A and B are shown apart, each in its own frame.
Chain A
Amino acid sequence: MGKSEMSDHGGEQEEKRVRLPLTMDARKGLKAGDRLLLSGRLITARDQAHRRLLDALEKGEPLPVELRDETIYYAGPSPAPAGKPAGSVGPTTAARMDPYTAHLAAEGVAAFIGKGPRSPGVRRALREHGSIYLVGVGGAAALLGSKVRAIRVAAYEELGPEAVYELEVEDFPVVVAYDLAGGDVFSHLPPTA
């Protein structure tokens, strides 16, 4: 993990450069609140893709993409404008994927990227399976899209923006939300009823 020259965001803490896939050793070294710049492959999946993936798992069918050690990004990109490698692609609300997350963590997914807090059940399941949760800044989608070098449809093309895309990213900024030691970047949030 190298240091970044673009760490003028926010000052105090350096961004750590991280190469994907995230090995278990790399995951263990990360703490809630760490700022990371990811480079490598992300796999997008949002609402409808999750339903299909879970459906396949339930039926014992093979998944259309290998998920072990991969990083799932909850996102539905906007189309690439002419001459650009990708459009805008920020994180979507992670809590909508809560019902599916334990199952995908059990398949060996290394990390999930979304926005906002998750349920206590998801937090537990992630630790149990050695997966971490990272957050992107919701709405920083043009900036995040400018970190995408290549994009291709990996599955469920007919879902349009909800298809599974494979993204090749470089220095893609995220913050560690839930680490493997139980650290939680959202612990300050007021309790919901």
Chain B
Amino acid sequence: MMKTTFLFLAFLLISTISLAEEKRIAASFIFDRSEPAPALSEDMGVFSFKFNGLEKEDLNAKITLSCDGGENETIKLKDGKFDYNAPAGTHRFVIYINDKYFELYSHNLIIGGQEKHFYSVNTIMTLGLQIEVDKPVIYLYPEESTSFEVSVIPKGDMAFTYPKYDENWSGMMHPNSDLEINGEIFNYLFWESKQEMNALNPRETAGFVIQKEGILSFLEEKLNQVGFTAKERADFITFWAPQMEKHEQVFITFHQDADCDMFAELNISPTPENLYRFYMSWGSYDGDVVPESQKLTSFQRSGFTVIEWGGQEIPTIANTLAL
């Protein structure tokens, strides 16, 4: 019973954690079982961690670990497992395997003296995430009223379209950008799809790190520079900015024109004189890497012009131990 009292005291002593850290805890440490460890001294316990979801080549990798915010320690895995001795009490771990996995943050793990606690640790790959390509909208600006046909071939499955997409969208388009489809008037064509993507890595991707307070003015500036009209800008900003402002800091990278084929191919008939595609990938980011800056090209609006914008929120790698 002495032990119980001690553990409860230890539990009450949990120190405060920074907000950024709280958010990163993905609850990947799952308690499996415990067993006595009489070989240890009375005030020492041992954690036995087993990683789930490691690729074969990483089962014996060297990993980096920090316990209770202490110095980085390098530990070699054996068959995806390792043991870690720690004084009886409460401990927190940060573990970095390599760039293929998100860094892992434990909650407070409690251990008693002469006890061995087994944990399964779920890793999460930074590659091949299922991401929604959100709200691509397509505006058509013809010089005269004429019929049109637009087809989109997304890289993943089409999740939502409006008006309803049926092999393509077709109807009449007008110079004021009104689209007439089955007797109804629309301002834009809307589609969404889900596809596989990798986590964003600000170390390797050109882009921008923007604080919450600066998001709106940043987007206004970039969209103006690129040549969005006030209406297009309002559609873009009212869709993305409220979502982005929920985070203290975000990483943003843009994709333009041919680069956007990685999300979907776009076929338009008649062929537009100018077709501009503008996508934004972004994710909450609490790291401090300064990414390489990105140059954007501007729209030329002459003749029959088509503008498409879209984007996706993608988890962003913010490894603290990898520095």
A binds B: no
Hey, which bits of chain A sit against chain B, CB under 8 A?
Answer: none
